[in-house]
Amino acid sequence: MDLLVSTEWLAEELGASDLRVVDATQFMPDDPRNALEEYEAGHIPGTVFMDLTNLIDSHNPVPNMLPPPEKFASRMQSLGLGDGSRIVLYDDSPIKSAARAWFMLTMFGAYDVAILDGGLAKWKAEGRPLAQGREMLRHRHFTVWKDDKAVRNKAEMIANMSSGAEEVVDARSSARFTGQERDPRPGVAPGHIPGSRNLPYSELFNADGTYKKGEDLKATFAAAGIDMEKPMVTTCGGGMTAAVVAFGARLLGKKDIALYDGSWAEWGTDPATRKATGAACVA
């Protein structure tokens, strides 16, 4: 599969024995919408629901951190996702949460993972069929694996401020990045990691919710002053939309991409970390 698949492609492939379709919708904590209830009310036929709110390290005080490999593998097996599966992810969320599921699946060893371009909204807009209720698939073995090279921790981010070896790209809104708008979580300082660039994740999408592609996507990264020749680390508020920017860079063929999992939820609450406000200097 390609990294990004169309609704037309998925409609033709539905029912294939090795294909697994996954609703990976998640909302921000202050959003009143309920992802599971919406899935049960209407989803692409054959789709299982991945509960991202519980795919976390529940013992880590930083919110939304990656789960241990064994926990992740167990949850995937229970969803019927396993070795040899082609997995297509979608969401119906403003934060484009399918990208977080893509990041986790690929980091934990899945090889054939794609995102549905335009998500459930495009599928519905085209009048394609929906199913109701909750779907269950037969358990399938998922090999426990974790490749840490795609993840950065706080110590590595601090070291990178001195070395400048990796381009840090912040996926939050410009108001959050500059510090004009404070973080909604209590005790979190405003601003951004010094030296980082700002590329709000929403800028990677067309008006219809599909990803920008080709030259349009390249131009979006260039307008943010991002050097695509350097290794990239993406960050955001809590590790969610950072995955959207990582996925966008991957669409352009970039492979040296990592994600700072603690993101601003960790950095912004530590009084010892340096913080910058105002706009980044765009080269």
Q: Closest by alpha carbon to 260, among 195, 171, 162?
A: 171
Q: Residue 232 pairs with which residues in a beta bridge?
A: 167, 257
Reply yes or no on whether 281 is catalytic. no
Q: In angstroms, what CA-CA distances link 198 with 5, 240, 256, 280?
A: 27, 15, 18, 7
Q: Is 130 left (phi over 0), alpha (psi -120 to 50) or beta?
A: beta
Amino acid at site 76: M
Q: Closest by alpha carbon to 239, among 119, 25, 30, 95?
A: 95
Q: Closest by alpha carbon to 246, among 271, 211, 270, 272?
A: 211
CA 58, CA 273: separation in Å to the nearest integer? 24
Burial class (CB in 10 A: 0-12, 13-18, 19+), 214: exposed
Q: Are 122 and 7 in contact (CB under 8 A)?
A: yes
Q: Considering 236, 251, 265, 280, which one is annotated as catalytic?
A: 236
Place of tokens 């539905």: 14
Locate 19 and state its tokens. Answer: 């294909």
Give the active site residues. 236
